[in-house]
Amino acid sequence: MSGKKFVIAGIGTDVGKTIAAAVLCEALKADYWKPVQAGKLFDKDSDRILKLTEGKIKVHPEAYPMQFAMSPYASAKREGIEIDVNKIVPPQTDNTLFVELAGGIMVPLTKDLMMIDLLVKWNYPVILISKNYVGNINHTLLTCIALKNRNIPLAGIIFNGDINEDSETIIIQHSGAKLLGHITEMKTIDVASIKQQAEGFKNISL
């Protein structure tokens, strides 16, 4: 797995991408990079990853850290910044790298470009994070279709939170995606719980 790069994408906002990234980085001792951070600069996702992995993994700096919790395009516009996708360059590393997107794959980066356009450019396999809620089948399958239509490789799906076997069976059946595992509901998200979850992903096949 050394030197491989993967994108961690979600079916929407707040489905557990950062938690999944922490678990995978802990399990595989991989590097982490979030190219665009919109909002929460006082507690960035990069900072959370460092805390949850006890600072033992390499976290690469964001290309665009922005202060407003909205789409990167809207946040940049408010700050008077114009995002140049050519400056969003994946870091060089010999280690496995997990790249966490901001929001879902159709979130706008600029007036003309979406997150999915970065995925096309990089062509890294996507690890899709899904969470069981009313509507998640639709959101997950639509995301899978969008990736397939742009010829973006899908490494598989991780389900985060409460397990719903009926929903998950439908998603895997109709997407044809590989089930990579589950991150179960955590009462407290801390170093110990991340380590516990990581045990289930140490032998993940990507």
Q: Which of the residues are catalytic?
A: 34
Q: Alpha-carbon Rg of the chain, whole angstroms? A: 16
Residues 200 and 159 sit within 8 Å (Cβ to Cβ): no
